[in-house]
Chains A and B, each alone.
Chain A
Amino acid sequence: MTSAEREAIAQRALEHSTADQTEVIVQVADAALMRFARGISNQNVASITHAISVRAIVDGRTGVASTNDLSDSSIAAVVERAIALAALAPRDPHQPQLPAGGTTHAPDGAYVAKTALADPFARAQICDAIVQEGERADDWCAGYVTTSAMGITIANSSGALASFDGTDAQANVKMIAADSSGFAEAYATDLTRIDGGRIGKQAVHKAAASARPQAVEPGAWTVILEPAACGELLAYLLSHFSAQAYDEGSSFFAGRLDERFFAETITLRDDYAHPLAPGMPFDYEAQPKSRVTLVDRGVVRAFVTDSYYARKLDVANTGHALPAPNASGPQALNLVVDPGTQSAEALIAGTERGLLVSRFWYIRTVDQKQAIVTGMTRDGTFLIEDGRITGGVRNLRFNQSIVTALARATPANDAHRTGGHGYSLVVPTVKIEGFRFTSTTEF
């Protein structure tokens, strides 16, 4: 479905509405994913989905209804359902005028037609290249290759109209040897930039290099976090930069804006336009996204807002709304960590005794206010002695405040895209002193 078709649907919904204010989001997605494990494809799927969501505001009361039936009668019905819901809601004194939007431009490279048109055999070839690398090393492996294309149009009764089309391709693999494993991943908006053989080789190398892992004692360690691990850790800091968390007091820096929390080497931004992760240039209220410096050389400078919190806190709308209904507040979804000056190799070379971590697993918040999280290492954890990687170690559990960790952090001069579901991160390798491991496991 083209943006013009989506805009026509959104316009029909707006015309039908009798609410004081109305917002319409029309989305279409065509997503496919091939998963492989132990020489078979255990999931190979594709789906085409459509959705229209209508937010109706009547006398400061809000209702939201959605459907995936885009017929004219269904569009009229979903608008009426949203208005009916709004009539039953209590009035919200902070309910703002919907934003009027503005001119936005999709970042270069956000949409690549070859990715949108990729067939299942293109994905299968990349999977096969990964598997072949494992077979050469006598490893078995599990992983996936995915491609997706999405289009979104947001229009509202304040005159905002914004459309965006984007593509994405990802691959990852866990390569499993006799007593060790290795991980590799790749992200791009252009599928042709995903090299299955390269990913397979990286994972094979990690599995081989971490073979015969030795047990090390938990405790405070100097760690070098590779980008996947760094990203997984920082993902648990994102919600702290929401205006809602700041306002309600659950953010680590609530009431302490402009204070130094991190090392001077740490600068964090929210940037939808980073070349490694080009994303949507507006938020789910059609407000143009600002590129926000959240932390400047260790000092927390900003949180992100939407129209609701901009009005409530009397600050600028940075354009970070999530789709209505949203009880989580605005969110920073495109985190970028500025690179440092030394190479990752130099950070390792400068470590007398430490651990190199490829990836974490199952991180969860232990303490919200202190941003303490726990989790496990996995798929390639290495001992560093006298500046050299000397072998693999068994996996460990950590309990660590992210805030404290970033106060002792040094980023390398590299930049890699990583991320999870619904957000992207561009991060370097990072060295952290005194990272606290609390137990070990059996492998």
Chain B
Amino acid sequence: MEFEELAGRALDTSIARGATYADVRFERGRTERIEVRNGIVATLADSESAGYGIRALVDGAWGFAASDDVSNAGIDAAAARAVTIARASAAVARRPFGAPPERAYVDRFITAIARDPAVVPLGERVALLLEAEKLARSTPKVAVARAWIDLWRTDKFFFSTIGSRIEQRIMQSGSGVQAMAVGNGDVQTRTYPGDVGLYQSGGWEIVESARLRENAARIGEEATALLTAPQCPSGTFDVILGSSQVSLQIHESCGHPAELDRVLGWEANFSGTSFLELDQLDRLVYGSPIVTIAIDNTMPFGMATCGYDDEGTQSGTSDIVRDGILRGYEMSNDTARSIGRESNGCVRAQSWEYVPMIRMCNLTLLPGTTPFEHLFDDVRDGIYMESNRSWSIDDRRLNFQFGCEIGWEIKNGKRGRLVKNPTYAGMTPAFWNACDAIADERSWFAWGTPNCGKGEPMQTGRTTQAAAPARFRGVTVGVGYDD
């Protein structure tokens, strides 16, 4: 395997300097981004980065050092630095905590793709975006239209002192189109697909499946129509959320609070803590009995799908919420061990220079049995909302307020007039307990989030929350505009 010799040197040096366990992760990443804005290619960028990060465990405390110097001297210096940092951690720790993985793996994983983006000529990529962006400027009110493609390819080589040797190639792709209409003293934006575009693991086929050209004109027209649409009413309504908004709801109100490091207080000063406290495990009625939210890091198209996480734990599936009851967390080796469980492989680093940490990975809200169109049937007075526009939640993940780009009134079971600036708010468990219908698998979709922030230094994670549209009863709607 590539980097074998350098990895051996890094691990040997770490052990010789006093580490009881060490691992090293070499990565070579390539990022390509194209963004077209009002007929101009605003971004045409191709970035490569390669380097490695070494984790060393000394006296039950971790140290991590990263470098892009792949000379022997560079490897030696980085290993020594990781061990010294671990000693500094141990010097002020009140107790040992770090734990190495228990199982070693020798394996290889490659993301399944149908068409390698590398064989798609750059001219073809640019042409697609220019066309979609032009179509999004479908009315004179569209002041800004954008269309973009992101392509990521990451090669990882993981080695550890317990014998793991894991090689992975992970490919993720995404694209989207957006129209911003200005007029009537207002600015309104529509995005397609979802709220950030379509992001999934895979190759060029993900970009093609987004069908940007076919939907661009519609979003320009919708953004324009929103400029003169009535304000979303305020009050208590039944709410139906489109699948991408349910995805965001899962991300913020389940995925983040179920990160075990957050539950243990490790994120308290920045990303906050969690209401899913340990004494609530197997007891808390998180949602209604139709709510089951599972981790699936083997899911086709999942942005976090891989063979092994960044501390060498094999990917698998497990529950966070089963039939409405809190059953588990997203975990690393040491946090899992602290609560008597095994890691479920939810550790990721943004890239080689970042330390692996617990991240939300792929989550899925299991689909229900109701055809999407029948979600509306017994809603007398409600709002249907699509495409997230703003999201905020308190630092225990209870009090939330989300806004969407677009909404429609629901009157007596029928979708009615367009409304602008729809927002809704609530408390997480009460909201999920008010979920009385989830659409069936025909409208279930794996929505990727390409830019989830967590940690210090801040790391960007790529997650997926698969969901179908869902209905919630008695929701507070229309907050934010009551000045």
**Which residues of A come within 8 Å of B, CB atoms?**
31-51, 53, 61-69, 81, 85-86, 88-90, 92, 94, 119-121, 123-125, 127-128, 131, 140-144, 146, 172-174, 176, 181, 183, 248-250, 325-327, 361-369, 372, 374-376, 378, 395, 397, 399, 401, 404, 421, 436, 438-443
9 A-B pairs in the complex with CB atoms less than 8 angstroms apart? A36-B92, A44-B85, A53-B47, A63-B44, A90-B130, A378-B394, A378-B395, A397-B399, A404-B483
Chain B residues with Cβ below 8 Å from A141 are: 268-269
- With known contacts A120-B84, A142-B265, A441-B398, A41–B62 Cβ distance under 8 A: yes
Contact B398 A44 (CB under 8 A): no
The closest CB in chain B to the CB of A90 belongs to B41
Whole-angstrom distance between the alpha carbons of A36 and B90 in the complex? 11
Q: Which residue of A lies closest to B55 (CB)?
A: A45
Report the minimal beta-carbon distance from A380 to chain B, rounded to whole angstroms. 13
Q: Among the listed B88, B146, B396, B456, which residue makes an inter-chain contact with A123, where contact means beta carbons less than 8 Å apart? A: B88
Whether A124 and B89, one on each chain, are in contact in the complex, defined by CB atoms closer than 8 angstroms, is yes
| B35 proximity list for chain A (CB < 8 A) | 325, 327
CA distance A419 to B100 in the complex (A): 36
Check B401 for interface membership: any CB of A closer than 8 A: yes
**Looking at the complex, which one of B51, B66, B185, B269 makes contact with A142 (CB distance below 8 Å)?**
B269
Please indicate the chain A residues that have their CB under 8 angstroms from the CB of B130 in the complex. Answer: 90
Q: Which of A66, A89, A140 contacts B48 (CB 8 A)?
A: A66
Task: For residue B417, give the distance in angstroms from its CB to the closest CB of chain A.
Answer: 20
Tell me the complex Cα distance, A152–B450, Å: 28
Give Cα distance in the complex from A398 to B265, angstroms: 25
A248-B143 in contact (CB<8A): yes
**Closest partner residue, chain B, to A363 (CB atom):** B392
Whether A85 contacts B399 by the Cβ 8 Å rule is: no
Residues 301-323 of chain B, each 1 if its beta carbon lies under 8 Å from chain A, else 0? 00000000000000000000000
- Using a CB-CB cutoff of 8 Å, which residues 22-50 of chain B contact chain A? 33, 35, 37, 39-50
A40-B94, A367-B421, A441-B398 known; A374 vs B268 contact (CB < 8 Å): no
Main secondary structure of the interface of A (DSSP, over half): strand
User: In the complex the two chains form, what is the Cα distance from A47 to B125 in whole Å?
Assistant: 35
Contact B88 A397 (CB under 8 A): no
> Chain B contacts of A183 at CB under 8 A?
269
Q: Are B126 and A367 in contact (CB under 8 A)?
A: no
For B189, list chain A residues within 8 Å (CB).
368
**Is B186's CB within 8 Å of the partner chain A?**
yes
CA distance A88 to B36 in the complex (A): 13
Cβ–Cβ < 8 Å partners of B123 in chain A: 88
A48 in contact with B66 given A250-B187, A376-B394 (CB within 8 Å): yes
Q: A45–B45 contact, CB under 8 A?
A: no
- Give Cα A94–Cα B68 distance, bound, in whole angstroms: 37
Establish whether residues A69 and B261, one from each chain, have CB atoms under 8 Å apart when the complex forms: no
Question: When chains A and B are docked, how far (Å) is the Cα of A173 from the Cα of B458?
Answer: 16
Which of B's residues lie within 8 Å of A, judged by CB? Answer: 33, 35, 37, 39-51, 53, 61-69, 78, 81, 84-89, 91-95, 97, 122-123, 126, 130, 143-144, 146, 180, 182, 185-187, 189, 261, 264-269, 272, 353-355, 357, 389-396, 398-399, 401, 403, 421, 423, 425, 427, 455-458, 479-483
Interface centre among A141, A181, A366 (most CB of B within 10 A): A366
- State in angstroms the CA–CA spacing of A172 and B270 once bound together: 9
The reply to whether B391 and A89 contact each other, CB–CB distance below 8 Å, is no
A140 contact set on B, CB distance < 8 A: 265
**Given the known A-B contacts A142-B265, A397-B399, are A88 and B126 also in contact in the complex, defined by CB atoms under 8 Å?**
yes
Distance in angstroms between the alpha carbons of A127 and B88 in the assembled complex = 11
Q: How many Å from the CB of A176 to the closest CB on chain B?
A: 6
B92:A67 contact, CB within 8 angstroms: no
Q: Give every chain A residue within 8 A of B185 (Cβ-Cβ).
A: 369
Which residue on A lies nearest to B458, using beta carbons? A421
Q: Given A47-B66, A48-B67, A327-B43, is A131 in contact with B92 using a C-beta cutoff of 8 Å?
A: yes
Tell me the complex Cα distance, A49–B29, Å. Answer: 14
C-alpha gap A53/B261 in the complex (Å): 36
In the bound complex, how far is the Cα of B377 from the Cα of A302, in angstroms?
Answer: 53
Find out whether the CB atom of A92 lies under 8 angstroms from the CB atom of B44. Answer: no
In the bound complex, residues from chain A placing their C-beta under 8 Å from that of B180 are 248, 250
Separation of A363 and B482 alpha carbons in the complex (Å): 18
Check if B65 sits within 8 Å of A41, measured CB to CB: no
Q: Taking each of A45, A47, A90, which has the highest tally of chain B beta carbons within 10 Å of its own beta carbon?
A: A45
Q: Which residue of A lies closest to B144 (CB)?
A: A248
Evaluate contact between A397 and B146: CB separation under 8 angstroms.
no
